[in-house]
Amino acid sequence: MESTPSPRGVLDKDVSRLDVDGTFSVTWTHRLRFTRNVLDPDNSLIDSLIPAQPRPIRVLSILDSGLVEAQPTLVNQLDRWLTPRAEQLVPAGPPLILPGGEQAKTGWDAFEQTAQAIAKGHVCRQSLVLIFGGGAVLDAAGFAAATSHRGVKVIRLPSTTLAQGDSGVGVKNAINAFGTKNFLGTFAPPHAVVNDTSLLASLDDRHWRGGLSEAVKVSLLKDPDLLQLIEQNTQPLLNRDLQTMEDVLIESARLHLDHIVNGGDPFENEEARPLDLGHWSAHRMEAISEWQLSHGDAVAIGLALDITYATKIGMLPEAKAQRVIECLRALGFLESTPTLDDPDTLLQGLEEFREHLGGQLAVPLVSDIGVATEVDEINMSAMRDSIRDLRETIS
Ligand SMILES: NC(=O)c1ccc[n+]([C@@H]2O[C@H](COP(=O)([O-])OP(=O)(O)OC[C@H]3O[C@@H](n4cnc5c(N)ncnc54)[C@H](O)[C@@H]3O)[C@@H](O)[C@H]2O)c1
Ligand SMILES: [Zn+2]
């Protein structure tokens, strides 16, 4: 009679009693708040998010240099907000200002400065790090905070539309390393995300519209009503009406949060990442342009490309794709870009996406507005045609 082979091979001693699988789960509350003027001394939103402590806690503030340049009174406002709270909150050193934009994530500088400020300021796991900035500063400083003392408490205060409606709401951080975007990073849910929409007033037009392409993306995947809201308000959005932007960002952030909380895979252990519509090419275009193309602008082109492809393979009716392309145009997206000139270089983005997913391609697409689906292979000739068509459409 044949015996079943042991998974350990042949051992001269029975060690199976050492096999112990302990399952545990950790409950996490993902807190997302919207406000205006969070640093008004009377605004108690941040106070309400700090757990009651018997002793004062140390607070390290980190700010994006682009935000500080555009809103020079912010550091004073922070000071004025902290002063009446001196019995509960002790500043852990002067505010740290990190260079804003992709440079924050390129190399170790911002990471090191943050970790050093945490060390010098004696920030511990009971302390609080407040990070004000765009997605890049949130990513770099968030990565340092997540790995210092194996993770200190962070409140993210995203200051771009893209970060308020999308990236800041997530649970990831990263820096670019070894030539690869987001190569080093962790999944580390922040203690809270506070979206102060008054921070958005000083954005340039490109970053003001940035969050709208992610909002269109999530509407295509999950919520036709959000697309309608955006379509009906393209003019106020273009004219920088804050209230309309808030309406869109609240919905976009809510859908992103819902995906993290109820999607069943907050730490992306499964291969599928269904919120990445349009992103395989967007990431590639950002790299080809050497980061001249913003993430928001690249995502808009990536969305237009993927829905053009979806019509070519008969998945999405052409009129629906046209409707989305018109909406993106009306929002100021889809300017002509040399990143579409060479389809082969762009198509390498699919390979990178496959590698990023761990070998098996899973490209999110839509079969209708609000109806997400996923394909595990791409018809290269149809995708090449889609790139050419799109290039003509937007030239
Ligand atoms: N962690 C995630 O899950 C995740 C998801 C998507 C994107 N991201 C990352 O987010 C980054 C893009 O973030 P972003 O679109 O917020 O842009 P950004 O962080 O690159 O900031 C854009 C520019 O705006 C400036 N700025 C920020 N706030 C300002 C304000 N209120 N007024 C004036 N200027 C201001 C910055 O200094 C910078 O120059 C990318 O690095 C991307 O990889 C991260
Ligand atoms: Zn994105």
- Tens of pLDDT, residues 106-148: 999 999 999 999 999 999 999 999 999 999 999 999 999 999 9
- Which CATH number is 205-256+272-394's, of 1.10.3720.10, 1.10.357.10, 1.20.1090.10, 3.30.200.20? 1.20.1090.10
In this prediction, residues 271-284 reach a mean pLDDT of 83
Which residues, judged by CB distance below 6 Å to any ligand atom, belong to the binding site of ligand 1?
Answer: 64-67, 70, 100-102, 105, 133-137, 139, 159-160, 162-163, 166-167, 170, 172-173, 199-200, 202-203, 207, 210, 295-296
Q: Residue 2 — pLDDT band, cuts 50, 70, 90?
A: low
Given the CA of residue 210, which atom of ligand 1 is nearest to it? 15
pLDDT at 3: 58
Determine the average pLDDT of the residues in 171-177. Answer: 95
Domain boundaries, the chain: 32-202, 205-256+272-394
Q: Which residue has the higher pLDDT, 291 or 192?
A: 192
Residue nearest to ligand 1 atom 9, measured at CA? 135
Ligand 1 atom nearest to CA at 163: 16
Q: Tell me, in angstroms, the distance from the centre of ligand 2 to residue 48's CA.
A: 30
Give the per-residue pLDDT at 253: 97
Q: Residue 188: what are its φ and ψ, rounded to 5°?
A: -145, 95
- Give me the mean pLDDT over the 318-347 stretch: 95
The contacts of residue 168 (CB under 8 Å, 6+ apart) are 135, 138, 156, 158, 193, 195
Ligand 1 atom 43 nearest Cα:
136
Cα-to-centroid distance, 283 and ligand 1 (Å): 14
Burial status of residue 261 (CB atoms within 10 A of its CB: 0-12, 13-18, 19 or more): middle
Cα-to-centroid distance, 162 and ligand 2 (Å): 8
Query: Which ligand has an atom closest to residue 132 CA?
Result: 1
Residue 62 pLDDT? 98
Average model confidence (pLDDT) across the chain? 93
pLDDT exceeds cutoff 80 at 357: no
Q: Can you tell me which atom of ligand 1 is nearest the CA of 200? A: 31
Q: Identify which of 202, 204, 213, 295 to mutate to test ligand 1's pocket (most ligand atoms within 8 A of the CB).
A: 295
Residue reference for tokens 């890049």: 136
d(C-alpha 276, C-alpha 363), whole Å: 8
pTM assigned to the model: 0.94
Strands of the chain, DSSP E: 32-35, 57-64, 89-91, 96-98, 128-133, 153-158, 172-177, 180-187, 192-196, 363-368, 371-375
Higher per-residue pLDDT: 74 or 358: 74
Annotation: CATH topology of 32-202 = Rossmann fold (3.40.50)
